[in-house]
Amino acid sequence: MFELSRNPEVVAKLRSEIGSRLGIGSDGRKPTYVDLKEMNYLSAVINETLRLHPAVPFNCRVALHNTTLPRGGCPDGLSPVGVPRGTEVMYSTMLMQRRADLYPTKGHPGYFDPLK
Ligand code: HEM
Protein backbone atom coordinates (compact mmCIF):
# COMPACT_ATOMS: atom_id res chain seq x y z
CA MET A 1 0.00 0.00 0.00
CA PHE A 2 2.91 2.36 0.74
CA GLU A 3 4.42 1.81 -2.73
CA LEU A 4 1.03 1.90 -4.47
CA SER A 5 0.23 5.17 -2.70
CA ARG A 6 3.16 6.82 -4.44
CA ASN A 7 2.88 5.08 -7.82
CA PRO A 8 -0.57 5.97 -9.23
CA GLU A 9 0.30 4.59 -12.67
CA VAL A 10 0.88 1.18 -11.05
CA VAL A 11 -2.49 1.39 -9.29
CA ALA A 12 -4.21 2.18 -12.61
CA LYS A 13 -2.57 -0.77 -14.40
CA LEU A 14 -3.29 -3.14 -11.48
CA ARG A 15 -6.93 -2.07 -11.27
CA SER A 16 -7.34 -2.59 -15.01
CA GLU A 17 -5.90 -6.13 -14.75
CA ILE A 18 -8.15 -6.92 -11.76
CA GLY A 19 -11.11 -5.21 -13.43
CA SER A 20 -10.82 -7.13 -16.67
CA ARG A 21 -10.29 -10.44 -14.86
CA LEU A 22 -12.64 -10.21 -11.86
CA GLY A 23 -14.64 -7.00 -12.14
CA ILE A 24 -14.33 -4.14 -9.64
CA GLY A 25 -16.41 -3.29 -6.54
CA SER A 26 -19.72 -5.06 -5.85
CA ASP A 27 -19.80 -6.53 -9.37
CA GLY A 28 -16.42 -8.14 -8.82
CA ARG A 29 -16.04 -11.81 -8.00
CA LYS A 30 -13.55 -13.41 -5.60
CA PRO A 31 -10.32 -14.54 -7.33
CA THR A 32 -9.73 -18.27 -7.76
CA TYR A 33 -6.26 -19.76 -7.35
CA VAL A 34 -5.94 -19.79 -11.15
CA ASP A 35 -6.90 -16.11 -11.33
CA LEU A 36 -4.17 -15.23 -8.83
CA LYS A 37 -1.60 -17.27 -10.71
CA GLU A 38 -2.55 -15.75 -14.06
CA MET A 39 -2.71 -12.12 -12.97
CA ASN A 40 0.90 -11.43 -13.97
CA TYR A 41 0.91 -7.76 -13.08
CA LEU A 42 -0.44 -8.50 -9.62
CA SER A 43 2.36 -11.06 -9.12
CA ALA A 44 4.90 -8.54 -10.40
CA VAL A 45 3.64 -5.91 -7.92
CA ILE A 46 3.89 -8.35 -5.01
CA ASN A 47 7.34 -9.60 -6.07
CA GLU A 48 8.65 -6.07 -6.56
CA THR A 49 7.27 -5.10 -3.13
CA LEU A 50 9.12 -8.04 -1.55
CA ARG A 51 12.29 -7.11 -3.48
CA LEU A 52 12.38 -3.63 -1.96
CA HIS A 53 10.76 -4.56 1.36
CA PRO A 54 11.59 -8.24 2.02
CA ALA A 55 9.54 -9.70 4.88
CA VAL A 56 12.75 -11.42 6.09
CA PRO A 57 15.30 -8.60 5.50
CA PHE A 58 18.30 -10.54 6.84
CA ASN A 59 19.08 -14.07 7.87
CA CYS A 60 21.97 -16.20 9.04
CA ARG A 61 23.58 -19.59 8.71
CA VAL A 62 26.03 -21.24 11.07
CA ALA A 63 29.05 -23.17 9.75
CA LEU A 64 28.81 -26.79 10.94
CA HIS A 65 32.37 -27.47 9.71
CA ASN A 66 35.47 -25.38 8.92
CA THR A 67 34.72 -23.97 5.48
CA THR A 68 35.25 -20.96 3.21
CA LEU A 69 33.19 -18.30 1.44
CA PRO A 70 34.27 -18.03 -2.22
CA ARG A 71 34.93 -14.27 -2.31
CA GLY A 72 35.41 -11.26 -0.04
CA GLY A 73 38.96 -11.83 1.10
CA CYS A 74 42.09 -9.71 0.50
CA PRO A 75 41.99 -6.03 -0.47
CA ASP A 76 40.42 -6.80 -3.85
CA GLY A 77 37.72 -8.92 -2.21
CA LEU A 78 38.30 -11.71 -4.74
CA SER A 79 39.92 -14.33 -2.50
CA PRO A 80 38.15 -16.97 -0.40
CA VAL A 81 37.39 -16.20 3.26
CA GLY A 82 37.97 -18.79 5.98
CA VAL A 83 34.88 -19.63 8.09
CA PRO A 84 35.68 -21.71 11.18
CA ARG A 85 33.11 -24.20 12.46
CA GLY A 86 30.45 -22.49 14.61
CA THR A 87 30.74 -19.12 12.86
CA GLU A 88 27.45 -17.31 12.26
CA VAL A 89 27.27 -15.82 8.75
CA MET A 90 24.67 -13.09 8.35
CA TYR A 91 23.37 -12.08 4.95
CA SER A 92 20.87 -9.40 4.05
CA THR A 93 18.33 -10.00 1.32
CA MET A 94 17.31 -6.35 1.68
CA LEU A 95 20.80 -5.05 0.91
CA MET A 96 21.41 -7.58 -1.86
CA GLN A 97 18.09 -6.79 -3.55
CA ARG A 98 18.99 -3.10 -3.68
CA ARG A 99 22.60 -3.50 -4.88
CA ALA A 100 23.00 -1.82 -8.32
CA ASP A 101 26.00 -4.04 -9.18
CA LEU A 102 23.78 -7.13 -9.07
CA TYR A 103 21.44 -5.81 -11.75
CA PRO A 104 21.85 -4.78 -15.41
CA THR A 105 24.02 -1.68 -15.57
CA LYS A 106 23.18 1.65 -17.22
CA GLY A 107 23.04 1.37 -21.00
CA HIS A 108 21.96 -2.27 -20.75
CA PRO A 109 18.37 -2.80 -22.11
CA GLY A 110 17.26 -4.30 -18.80
CA TYR A 111 18.64 -1.40 -16.72
CA PHE A 112 16.49 -0.02 -13.90
CA ASP A 113 17.25 1.87 -10.68
CA PRO A 114 17.08 -0.86 -7.97
CA LEU A 115 16.21 1.74 -5.33
CA LYS A 116 13.00 2.62 -7.10
C1 HEM B 1 5.71 -13.00 1.99
C2 HEM B 1 5.63 -14.26 2.31
C3 HEM B 1 6.78 -15.07 2.87
C4 HEM B 1 8.10 -14.81 2.95
C5 HEM B 1 8.84 -13.57 2.46
C6 HEM B 1 8.74 -15.96 3.57
C7 HEM B 1 10.11 -16.05 3.80
C8 HEM B 1 10.74 -17.17 4.28
C9 HEM B 1 12.17 -17.33 4.34
C10 HEM B 1 13.20 -16.28 3.96
C11 HEM B 1 12.41 -18.57 4.82
C12 HEM B 1 13.79 -19.22 5.01
C13 HEM B 1 14.21 -19.11 6.42
C14 HEM B 1 15.54 -19.81 6.59
O15 HEM B 1 15.82 -20.75 5.88
O16 HEM B 1 16.29 -19.37 7.42
C17 HEM B 1 11.13 -19.19 5.05
C18 HEM B 1 10.98 -20.48 5.52
C19 HEM B 1 9.75 -21.06 5.69
N20 HEM B 1 8.53 -20.54 5.41
FE21 HEM B 1 8.16 -18.71 4.70
N22 HEM B 1 7.82 -16.90 3.87
C23 HEM B 1 6.60 -16.40 3.46
C24 HEM B 1 5.40 -17.03 3.57
C25 HEM B 1 5.21 -18.31 4.08
C26 HEM B 1 3.94 -18.99 4.14
C27 HEM B 1 2.64 -18.39 3.67
C28 HEM B 1 4.18 -20.20 4.70
C29 HEM B 1 3.24 -21.33 5.02
C30 HEM B 1 2.00 -21.37 4.69
C31 HEM B 1 5.60 -20.28 4.97
C32 HEM B 1 6.23 -21.35 5.54
C33 HEM B 1 7.58 -21.50 5.69
C34 HEM B 1 8.23 -22.69 6.20
C35 HEM B 1 7.55 -23.96 6.64
C36 HEM B 1 9.60 -22.42 6.22
C37 HEM B 1 10.73 -23.34 6.67
C38 HEM B 1 11.24 -24.07 5.42
C39 HEM B 1 12.42 -24.97 5.76
O40 HEM B 1 13.18 -24.66 6.64
O41 HEM B 1 12.53 -25.95 5.08
N42 HEM B 1 6.19 -19.12 4.58
N43 HEM B 1 10.13 -18.33 4.71
Q: What's the pLDDT tens digit per position in 37-52?
A: 999 999 999 999 999 9
Structural domain that includes position 11:
1-53
Last residue of a domain, one of 53, 73, 93: 53
49 with 24, same domain? yes
- Per the structure, how many domains does the chain have? 2
Nearest alpha-carbon partner for 79 in 93, 64, 68: 68
The region that residue 104 occupies, defined by phi over 0 for left and psi between -120 and 50 for alpha, beta otherwise, is beta
Q: Are 69 and 61 in contact (CB under 8 A)?
A: no
pLDDT of residue 37: 96
Evaluate if pTM is beyond 0.85: yes
94 with 46, same domain? no
19 with 44, same domain? yes
Distance 56 CA to ligand 1 centre (A): 9
pLDDT of 82 strictly over 90: yes
Atom of ligand 1 nearest to the CA of 54: 5
By the 10 Å C-beta count (0-12 exposed, 13-18 middle, 19+ buried), 93 is classed as middle
Choice from 56, 59, 94 to test ligand 1 binding pocket (greatest atom count within 8 A of CB)? 56
